[in-house]
Amino acid sequence: MDQQLMRRLQVEDLLYREADLLDQWRLDEWLSLFTADAHYFVPPSDVDGDTADPDKSLFYVMDDHIRMRERVIRLSKIGAHSEHPHSKVRHLVTNVRVESDGALIRSRASFIVSRAKDITHDLFVGHYLHEIVECEGALKIAKKTCVLDMEALRPHARISIIL
Amino acid sequence: MTAQTRIIADQARGKFLVPRKAFTDQRVFEQEYDAIFNRCWLYLGHASELPEPGSFLTRNVARRPVLFTRDREGTFHALLNACPHRGALVCRERHGKSPAFMCMYHGWVFGADGHLMSLPGAGGYPKGFKTDPQKQMVPVPRLERFGDFFFINFAKDGEDLATYLADAGDYLKLVSEHSASGMQVVGGTQEYAIRGNWKLLAENSFDGYHAACNHSTYLEYLQNANGALGSTPLAGVARDLKNGHALVEYSAPWGRPVANWVPLWGEEGKREIAAIYAALVQRLGDERADRIAHKNRNMVIFPNLVINDIMAITIRTFFPTAPNYMEINAWALAPREESEWLRKYRLYNFTEFLGPGGFATPDDVEAIEKCQQGYAAGGEAQYNDISKGMLREGGASFDDEEQMRAFWVEWDRRLAAVEA
């Protein structure tokens, strides 16, 4: 099969697996999809999310791997009130485009994430920018940026789930 | 305002009750616009957001579209962002640089001070039309600055900004004094909403009592993160700053970029923090330097400006569009001269606790929304208790509710005044 097509299928498989784990709140397994020096970012809506630098602009989320792990730990606790009991979550991932930059694979995909809890139901719409590397034969995520294609986080109020 | 929407305060008996109708009643909500948002000084923006002549930004303040500009001479203007011709928004961009603004409907063009520069088909109007005061963009009745903080007032008359700020002024100054070269708003705005009454966020923004329960997971996280906590205990006071403004001021174990070192920042960080502190002492003296570096402040400037100078500095403002819904904007404020390394820690600190994606704010949101839902119980469950620390000997602690009582007394006074 065409190598590029094969690569895209592999990346799609990874993104779908990631979405599925998040939907099922299997967050430890979700974390295992990332490299040990991974980052997870959600920029705000009034900067160019594709290029903004989390060290220079205020983001919604700027997690290094330590904080990603802590986020997972926090979300497993009763004291994470915003997500206790857990929301019903559904990640839809589509329009996956893949390009390779040497050993680095960059993918760009569209998402809609639905969060339902109590009397609220919110949709997060945007695109994912994943940086993926091959580690010991498996693909791992080194960086995940969730760019919201929204004018503001309204009425959502929170990104208490993982996008 | 009926008896059911007045607060009940009895200092001698340590009793302070707030009626839950204050959070749910449509009539109270409308009175709040008359009595508070249309009469108080409201935060508009920071000078650093309009960095040069020609800079502009648009922002909704108390439901009104406002165009905030700096003209060619550098003078700041606040205009109601509506065309005098047919009322369309004149400027439809969030921010940028422009010497003039053209209404997209019929092409009327206005200067940064709002004056009508040109209009197509001027021959269809009588002589003098263009300079008629009614054909100019309308300035917000009052615009004043306190340092680099700009405020507007929709009432033509009333006390000036400095008088209004009362004792809060010195605390605004204290925040500005973190830097020798001036403070700046860091790019990127957190813009969100909460399905709850706006006064719940005012209370929550300086509530020292809720942290142990509501934010237990945040505190546990800090303990897990190696070296993120120093040994300083949480301890401090609440202060009434008059006119409804109040704050809590306290020591805390977390790191502060200006200038409280924690082990996580390493030896190099220790040297940088020490140098920042030494410069503060030299510039401002021991007492003020110590307060800036080692004390945290959560301040609410009545009615809706929060300046929290904690593990980072946030400017937060919020407006209700209904009794059970508010829109919030939050920014990070930082010294201009801050090193890249420290700026990174500042933003890391900020996003760790604050905002929709932080480890704490989502649980504040949950609390606020659940209060709003709980108010539907109505019936006999009609009052909130805000009495903690009222009878404490030696004055209120940072985890009492003195600061909220200052807010509520002013809220009650202003609503009673429009009712009378």
In this prediction, residues A37-44 reach a mean pLDDT of 98
Residues B143 and B177 in one domain: no
- CATH 3.30.1330.10: does it fit domain A3-148? no
CA distance B356 to chain A (A): 4
Residues B326 and B415 in one domain: yes
β-strands A34-42, A61-64 pairing: antiparallel
Residue B1 has pLDDT above 60, yes or no: no
HEC letters along chain B: CCHHHCCEEECCCCEEEEECHHHHCHHHHHHHHHHHHCCCCEEEEEHHHCCCCCEEEEEEECCEEEEEEECCCCCEEEEECCCCCCCCCCCCCCEEECCEEECCCCCCEEECCCCEEECCCHHHCCCCCCCCHHHCCCECCEEEEECCEEEEECCCCCCCHHHHHCCHHHHHHHHHCCCCCCEEECCCCEEEEECCCHHHHHHHHCCCCCHHHHCHHHHHHHHHCCCCECCCCCEEEEEECCCCCEEEEEECCECECCCECCHHHHHHHHHHHHHHHHHHHHHHCHHHHHHHHHCEEEEEECCCEEEEECCCEEEEEEEEEECCEEEEEEEEEEECCCCHHHHHHHHHHHHHHCCCCCCCHHHHHHHHHHHHHHHHHCCCCCEEECCCCCCCCCCCECCCCHHHHHHHHHHHHHHHHHHC
Residues 6+ apart with CB under 8 A from A149: A125, A126, A127
Of the candidates B69, B97, B101, the one whose C-alpha atom is nearest the C-alpha of residue B88 is B101
In a domain, B37, yes or no: no
Residue B256 has pLDDT above 60, yes or no: yes
pLDDT at B139: 98
Q: Do B348 and A62 touch (CB under 8 A)?
A: yes
Q: Do A44 and B188 touch (CB under 8 A)?
A: yes
In this prediction, residues B30-41 reach a mean pLDDT of 97
Residues B172 and B147 in one domain: no
Of the candidates B29, B22, B35, B31, the one whose C-alpha atom is nearest the C-alpha of residue B384 is B22
Q: Are A138 and B345 in contact (CB under 8 A)?
A: no
| Interface check B308 vs A, CB under 8 A | no
Stated pTM of the model: 0.96
pLDDT at B2: 61
Confidence of residue A1 (pLDDT cuts 50, 70, 90): low
pLDDT at A39: 98
CA distance B316 to chain A (A): 13
Mean pLDDT for chain A overall: 96
CATH of the domain at B374: 3.90.380.10
- The number of folded domains in chain B is 2
Residues B90 and B140 in one domain: yes
From B118, B153, B188, give the residue that closes a domain.
Answer: B153
In a domain, B14, yes or no: no
Domain interval for residue B254: 167-419
Residue B181 has pLDDT above 60, yes or no: yes
pLDDT at B72: 94
Q: Out of B192, B359, B367, whose CB is closest to A154?
A: B192
Q: Do B188 and A47 touch (CB under 8 A)?
A: yes
pLDDT at B288: 97
Residues B113 and B177 in one domain: no
From B126, B153, B180, give the residue that closes a domain.
Answer: B153
Residue B226 has pLDDT above 80, yes or no: no
In a domain, B23, yes or no: no
Residues B252 and B365 in one domain: yes
Confidence of residue B234 (pLDDT cuts 50, 70, 90): confident
In this prediction, residues B381-403 reach a mean pLDDT of 93
Q: Out of A57, A77, A81, whose CB is closest to B187?
A: A57
β-strands B55-61, B64-70 pairing: antiparallel
Residues B268 and B376 in one domain: yes
In a domain, B212, yes or no: yes
Residues B282 and B415 in one domain: yes
CA distance A70 to chain B (A): 7
pLDDT at B3: 60
CA distance B28 to chain A (A): 22
Nearest CA in chain A to B373: A119
In this prediction, residues B118-138 reach a mean pLDDT of 97
Residues B231 and B365 in one domain: yes
Cβ-Cβ contacts under 8 Å, B350 against chain A: 58
pLDDT at A101: 83
Residues B241 and B386 in one domain: yes
Q: Do B348 and A80 touch (CB under 8 A)?
A: no
Mean pLDDT for chain B overall: 95
From B153, B185, B215, give the residue that closes a domain.
Answer: B153
CA distance B134 to chain A (A): 33
- For this complex, say whether ipTM is above 0.90: yes
Residue A111 has pLDDT above 80, yes or no: yes
- A15-43 in b/e form (b: 16+ CB < 10 A) is beebbebbbebebeebbebbeeebbbbbb
| Interface check B1 vs A, CB under 8 A | no
CATH of the domain at B106: 2.102.10.10
The string of pLDDT tens digits covering residues B147-158 is 999 999 999 999
Q: Out of A55, A118, A155, whose CB is closest to B193?
A: A155
pLDDT at A29: 98
pLDDT at A119: 86
